[in-house]
Structure 1
Amino acid sequence: MSTGFDRDPDEYTRGAKAAVVYPDMGASSRDAEARLEETAGLAAAIGVEVREKVAIKLRQPKPGTLIGSGQVEALAETVRDRELQLAVFDAALTPVQQRNLETALGCKVIDRTGLILEIFGERARTAEGRLQVELAHLDYQAGRLVRSWTHLERQRGGFGFLGGPGETQIEADRRLIRDRMARLRRELDQVSRTRTLHRDRRQRAPWPVVALVGYTNAGKSTLFNRLTGAGVMAENLLFATLDPTLRQISLPGIDKAILSDTVGFVSELPTQLVAAFKATLEEVVSADLLIHVRDIAHPDTEAQRADVEKVLSDLGVAEATPRFEAWNKLDLLEEAELERVLEGAAKRSNVMPISAVTGEGVDRLIKTVASRLTEGHRRYTIELNPADGAGAAWLHQHGDVCDHWVEGDKAVYEVRMAPQDFERFETRHA
């Protein structure tokens, strides 16, 4: 029986017929059906054709194959009968488990981490995104070279502790991977320093940064496009957005703010990706305000919320950072469910029900965010020469002009603005 090692790996991604397997160990807050649907969605994101969805109850994981021998045989029969080329396990497989399952099933096997890395590798567009994905992929593959080089076992020729060509090749590859990873980390450090310089420059401006965060496919990019008019990829796909996108927006009382669209989070996000995408997510860590976009129509919306909060905590986002929840996708709710959601949202001051597709509730979200960002603003009475058009324009750009009138030979403006902006104005007009 073929184990798949002699075939082109690309055969098993785009267009492959696959089974999605969820080993249910009872530890997840989601039900098995929801997990299978999510993993099938992840597989579809790279063009895999999911033919079977199988939930397997596990009392105790097996060191060699994760699932029991009887379960392996039943799954192998399904693979043969349906002529499947790929089995996607919604779990973290060790290199040994992956190899043993491929041998037993007669098809390619990838785990949740490998699947997410495949998606990230296909979707990353910027140089930074590609660097981050490559680093994560190399980190993942470093421990799996024994699987990649099984065909060299026949060349070993040594006895006991004496290694042969196969082991030499594995060591050579490990060294190449370590060297490449070191170069990638140096390049990403440079990216991180550049991003820090840009962020410092913005903070000196000072322009507030608002970051959209949320579970993958929650609708962040659709909301981002509505708020900015940008053309960011926004499709009904998991991980549609990978590379960070920053745009300048205007908010009531704030002439200029920076809106950041970030990579979607997911449950059990591979540790390699959390580490590799740290530079990208620095925008989230340093944001003045977070908008947590939630797919309120999803059956596991509460579990997704918990996953996002955990990732934010792991990233070091301060609990004191102001945040709002945008309960998105109202347009997908039935009338009774919509009423229940709206009633629940009304009881919480930090929740705004919205539809990023139809625009419902978005204006209120904008006003609420602006109000929170301008909480420290004060009201100032400023006198200008009526001919000072540049000064008047500056006040309109950096503050909220509540009223203005002409008094004698002076134009008087009542303006709400941040104290630091008022100091900048006084310095400018000193």
Structure 2
Amino acid sequence: MDATIDRVLSRRAQALADDDGFVDGGTYDGDQLDREERSALRRVQGLSTELEDITEVEYRQLRLERVVLAAVWTQGSVEDAENSMRELAALAETAGSEVLEGVLQRRQNPDPGTYLGSGKALELREIVEAQGADTVVCDTELSPSQRRALEDVVKVKVIDRTALILDIFAQHAQSREGRAQVELAQLQYLLPRLRGWGESMSRQAGGQAAGGQGMGSRGPGETKIELDRRRINTRIAKLKRDIAGMKTHRDTKRSSRRSNGTPSVAIAGYTNAGKSTLLNRLTHAGVLVDNQLFATLDTTVRRSETVDGREFTLADTVGFVRELPPQLVEAFRSTLEEVGEADLLLHVVDGSHPDPEGQISAVRSVLADVEATDVKEVIVINKADAADPEVIDRILLHEKHSLAVSARTGRGIPELLELIAEELPKPDIDVEVLVPYARGDLVSRLHDEAEILSEDHVADGTRLRARVNPDLASELTPFAAAG
């Protein structure tokens, strides 16, 4: 087992693709205006991530510096266990820590008491002491009792995979909506982990208010734990209202694009699969590309054109990961609706990853949770320049609608653009119009949204034959050309 851990930690950097922001051996990948700012968001010792409005609750400070990983391998092959541990190491490094060592235990089920068995927990304590670690990160979501019991053994802070991912999201969220969504997920994770006197004392009446209720009913009133729980529930309700309001604003913008007949393409996929690099390659958007998991949290929507000149929108969404915390799926549901409303889904897969099929399954699982499985899907195998050709061929054979590209070098991008043009809905109403020169705006819309069959400039205006969408056809009715 030690050999397995050494192999995982020596190869953990493979979970983060080598990405310096350049393509074609030196062409800069967009403006990358916030790369420097993002790089400054590393954890600094002594700074707190406590929630300001909550008092005396058990919200773990995640000042990750020197960590030891712990995982229980319950099913699958040793390669699956290694990939999971490697991904946990990459997550920990993304949060700003140094991964020192790891413990991987093979057993049918995690121990209900200490997650690891008692013997492995003691072994973990010895490793923590020998390495000088200050944190243990477990590769699953622990129950509050499991985490406390393991902390009692190892004598350092213990956090689980969910808390780690939430912390990374908290570091990277920049927009108002993104911060609200992350805070909502954090509070939902925190709520069942409050510690206090227990339910038996949480509702006792205080002083004279207990009159007539008999002995044993007089107490201090609401306990601190109940006050904390009530404040958290109040904050959760407010965040849900705020996010619902932001969703209305986004729905309005999406409806406006729809009314203009603009088709939409959504980019989704596993974290660090190269979605933002692909968006930059297709639209020159200058979106942040960084060698980190979850570098992109805020949905970016950009306009682009098909090879035949039709305009469409391209949306880059938050990356997914294996066992994405359900609190985050729910909090980001409104953002992920961008995928469900799209005309075409580009499902980006890291072809150089040790388990690309596992990535595909994890992403499809999350898409099913947000009811976004009815969108036409194309598997885009990215990083083809670094991937094993046999792996690419295997995915191309198994996935009916798929193609291989390299967003860094540009390989396969022309074929991808042609595929987008073929798959997006095309205007299907034939019109022949004579548009006065004073209505150049309509001519411009025809060029953006329609398929132009012929165009001729005459004395009274511009005569065009085109295929248009229903909304544009109705606006062109007054200008229908005579026979």
Fold conserved between structures, TM > 0.5: yes
Mapping 1:78-97, distance limit 5 Å: 78-97=127-146
Which of 237, 240, 247 matches 2:302? 247
Match of 1:153 in 2: none
For 1:180 and 1:386, how far apart are their aligned partners in 2? Answer: 57
Alpha carbons of structure 1 residues 139 and 29: separation in structure 2 relative to 1, 3 Å: farther
Alpha carbons of structure 1 residues 92 and 84: separation in structure 2 relative to 1, 3 Å: same
For 1:98 and 1:15, how far apart are their aligned partners in 2? Answer: 17
Alpha carbons of structure 1 residues 28 and 282: separation in structure 2 relative to 1, 3 Å: farther
For 2:155 and 2:394, how far apart are their aligned partners in 1? Answer: 53
Match of 1:191 in 2: 246
Which of 373, 396, 407 matches 2:447? 396
Counterpart check, 1:283 vs 2:334: no
Alpha carbons of structure 1 residues 298 and 179: separation in structure 2 relative to 1, 3 Å: same
Match of 1:332 in 2: 386
Deviation at residue 331 of structure 1 after TM alignment:
1.4
For 2:432 and 2:136, how far apart are their aligned partners in 1? Answer: 69
Asked whether the 8 Å contact 2:434–2:480 carries over to 1, the reply is no
Q: Which amino acid aligns with 2:320?
A: F
Alpha carbons of structure 1 residues 428 and 48: separation in structure 2 relative to 1, 3 Å: farther
Alpha carbons of structure 1 residues 364 and 416: separation in structure 2 relative to 1, 3 Å: farther
Match of 2:207 in 1: none
Deviation at residue 168 of structure 1 after TM alignment:
1.5
Asked whether the 8 Å contact 2:296–2:318 carries over to 1, the reply is yes
Q: How large is the Cα RMSD of the aligned pairs?
A: 3.1
Task: Pick 1 or 2: higher relative contact order, CA cutoff 8 A, min separation 6.
Answer: 2
Post-superposition Cα deviations, 1:138-190, rounded to whole Å, max 9, x if no partner, equal 111111111899xxxxxxxxxxx889889811111111111111111111111
After the TM superposition, which of the residue ranges 56-65 and 410-419 deviates more from structure 2? 410-419
Match of 1:3 in 2: none
Match of 2:318 in 1: 263
Alpha carbons of structure 1 residues 347 and 62: separation in structure 2 relative to 1, 3 Å: closer
Which of 411, 416, 427 matches 1:377? 427
Which of 297, 310, 316 matches 2:365? 310
Counterpart check, 1:54 vs 2:111: no
Asked whether the 8 Å contact 1:95–1:147 carries over to 2, the reply is no
Q: Which amino acid aligns with 2:180?
A: L
For 1:117 and 1:172, how far apart are their aligned partners in 2? Answer: 24
Alpha carbons of structure 1 residues 200 and 288: separation in structure 2 relative to 1, 3 Å: same
Once the two structures are aligned, what percentage of the paired residues are identical? Answer: 39
Match of 1:139 in 2: 188
Per the alignment, in what secondary structure is the counterpart of residue 279 of structure 1? helix
Counterpart check, 1:71 vs 2:120: yes
Alpha carbons of structure 1 residues 162 and 223: separation in structure 2 relative to 1, 3 Å: farther
Asked whether the 8 Å contact 1:252–1:400 carries over to 2, the reply is no
Per the alignment, in what secondary structure is the counterpart of residue 19 of structure 1? strand
Q: Which amino acid aligns with 2:360?
A: R
Alpha carbons of structure 1 residues 194 and 420: separation in structure 2 relative to 1, 3 Å: closer
Alpha carbons of structure 1 residues 283 and 238: separation in structure 2 relative to 1, 3 Å: same
Per the alignment, in what secondary structure is the counterpart of residue 306 of structure 1? helix
Which of 333, 339, 350 matches 2:401? 350
For 1:245 and 1:263, how far apart are their aligned partners in 2? Answer: 9
Counterpart check, 1:40 vs 2:89: yes
Match of 2:273 in 1: 218
Alpha carbons of structure 1 residues 418 and 93: separation in structure 2 relative to 1, 3 Å: same
Aligned length: 408
Deviation at residue 412 of structure 1 after TM alignment:
5.9
Give me the TM-score of the superposition, normalised by structure 2: 0.77
Q: Which amino acid aligns with 2:432?
A: I
For 1:248 and 1:103, how far apart are their aligned partners in 2? Answer: 54
Counterpart check, 1:238 vs 2:293: yes
Q: Which amino acid aligns with 2:385?
A: D
Deviation at residue 256 of structure 1 after TM alignment:
2.5
Asked whether the 8 Å contact 2:384–2:405 carries over to 1, the reply is yes
For 1:290 and 1:124, how far apart are their aligned partners in 2? Answer: 24
Per the alignment, in what secondary structure is the counterpart of residue 31 of structure 1? helix
Match of 1:155 in 2: none
Alpha carbons of structure 1 residues 196 and 307: separation in structure 2 relative to 1, 3 Å: same
Deviation at residue 425 of structure 1 after TM alignment:
3.0
Deviation at residue 253 of structure 1 after TM alignment:
3.7
Alpha carbons of structure 1 residues 428 and 409: separation in structure 2 relative to 1, 3 Å: closer
Post-superposition Cα deviations, 1:38-76, rounded to whole Å, max 9, x if no partner, equal 011111111011011321112232221111100101010
Mapping 1:155-174, distance limit 5 Å: 168-174=223-229
For 2:126 and 2:219, how far apart are their aligned partners in 1? Answer: 37
Post-superposition Cα deviations, 1:184-207, rounded to whole Å, max 9, x if no partner, equal 111111112222222222211221
Alpha carbons of structure 1 residues 179 and 122: separation in structure 2 relative to 1, 3 Å: same
